Homo-oligomer: A and B are copies of this chain.
Amino acid sequence: MPVYSISHVENVRVCVVMVGLPARGKSLIAQKIVRYLSWLSINSKCFNVGSYRRQIVSDTQVTAELFDPSNEEGMKYRQEAVNAATVDMMKWFLEENGVVGILDATNSTRERRDRILKLCRENLIEPMFLESFCSDQDLILQNILDVKTTSPDYANRDNDFATNDFLQRIKYYEEVYETMDENTDSDLTFIKLINVNSQIILNRIESYLESRIVYYVMNLHIKPRSIWLSRHGESEFNLTGQIGGDANLSERGWRYAKKLPELVLKSLGEENKHTNLTVWTSTLKRTQQTASFLPYKKKLQWKALDELDAGECDGMTYEQIEQEFPEDFKARDDDKYEYRYKGGESYRDIVIRLEPIIMELERQENILIITHQAVLRCLYAYFMNVPQEESPWMSIPLHTLIKLEPRAYLTLVSRIKADIPAVSTYKEKGTSQLGELMNGDSISKSRDLIKDSEGRVILENK
């Protein structure tokens, strides 16, 4: 009997069919849903029709004319692209046990949507339409600016050309666009987001998975903000190599706590130095001590941010665990994500209890979280889309502040080191030895690190 999270209650497969004109944030919403569900171990994938179209029409650079409804050749290519994407999606549902597939395209006419509907029903997949409808011209223009600078369709193109061509493309779509309608489409399951969540229409949302997707999408906002992550300062247990417990900070840990306000200011930069952060800690002393010199008034404690519960191994060193529970020690190395300490937790258990924290983080603006190694790995995995096999093995060093800046299609990461030595708490697979005293450089080994002009490390969400 496997352990179920809330996400495994039903045996439902859902095809989310995006609907909306270009530059309405469809791809962004689709990508976020996939990232969120994947983090919850729900097998999800996005099928972007634009990418298929670019493979089919790869010989020439695309211009708006391709999207002219009277351009028969263009229509043919575009139909081919949709067909290829849906064929791949159905294959993925059937052969790779897909649970939530997202068809990311404009799907702007009823005729097009009816075809997808039929295909879903033939394959016993629940179709859910997700329309992003926007009549706010400022929002649309902002989106156009984003798309222009990121779309492969306009790579190496002149700025003015790109803007005008894209506006023309939108016009062609507007000629045929049929929005989802409470009356005409009353038999369908759909969410219609109007002007970024200022109004939402929900129709026939029935399954649990659908209602989770709705709740997640409802909580998204597009205001710019940052999230800061830090482990607590070095603790007395860290010095002795013990895990768990509720120890005080070591002398060096206190030095980190005192320096933390300065690191935060540095990360804010001169022009934003008065930004008001909210500080979240766990209920354990070492995180609260680390937060104690921060000048921000709003500090909240969350039980959900407590360190992974090591159960019977709480307070032991890895060497002791290896000696006393050699089979458990090996089992954990073999599948660190799923392994649950006797009377304690697994990484999967942490993800389940962090889910409300993630939902709240999506709603909030500037938050600084001071928490623990395993919890921080899980939070980081959500923002950076790190797969399960990898996230429990990420090295997240002590005495380092991480700043995340979520952008449309990537998250900027900067890491500010305190330059205060700390022990390593990183245990490699197959050994009970911890690393050397270090300042810590690696976060995620298999990812490419990209540094921007200010020396910030950028990890693209894949």
Known contacts A202-B202, A360-B208: A246-B303 contact under CB 8 Å: no
B-contacting residues, A317-347, CB 8 Å: 340, 342-343, 345
B-chain residues with CB within 8 Å of residue A352 when the two chains form the complex: 303-304
Query: Assuming the A-B contacts A246-B343, A343-B246, are A218 and B205 also in contact, with contact meaning beta carbons closer than 8 angstroms in the complex?
Result: yes
Question: Once the chains bind, are B204 and A201 in contact (CB under 8 Å)?
Answer: no
Cα(A205)–Cα(B194), bound, Å: 12
Residue from the list B199, B211, B219 in contact with A218, Cβ < 8 A: B211
- Asked if residues A3 and B200 are in contact (CB atoms below 8 Å), the reply is no
* CB–CB B205/A200 < 8 A: yes
A182-205 interface code vs B (CB 8 A; 1 in, 0 out): 100010000000000111111111
What are the residues of chain B within 8 A of A283 when measuring CB–CB?
3, 340
Closest residue of chain B to A284, judged by CB?
B343
Q: In the complex, how many angstroms separate the beta carbon of A371 from the nearest chain B beta carbon?
A: 14
Knowing A208-B360, A283-B3, A363-B208, say if A8 contacts B300 (CB, 8 Å): yes
Q: Is the CB of B218 within 8 A of A202?
A: yes
Please tell me the number of chain A residues within 8 Å of chain B, measured between CB atoms: 50
Does A186 lie within 8 Å of B199, measured CB to CB? yes
By a CB distance below 8 angstroms, the chain B residues around A214 are 218
Provide the residues of chain B in CB contact with A201, threshold 8 Å. 199-202
Q: Complex: how many Å from CA A353 to CA B202?
A: 28
A360 proximity list for chain B (CB < 8 A) = 6, 9, 208
Tell whether A299 is near chain B: CB-to-CB under 8 Å: yes
The answer to whether A288 has its CB under 8 Å from any CB of chain B is yes
> CA separation between A204 and B186, bound complex, in Å?
22
Residues of B near A200 (CB, < 8 A) are 201-203, 205
* A267 at the binding interface (Cβ < 8 Å): no
Minimum Cβ distance to chain B for residue A192 (Å): 9
Pairwise interchain contact B198-A204, C-beta atoms closer than 8 A: yes
- The 5 A-B pairs of least Cβ separation, nearest first, read A200-B202, A4-B300, A3-B301, A199-B203, A6-B356
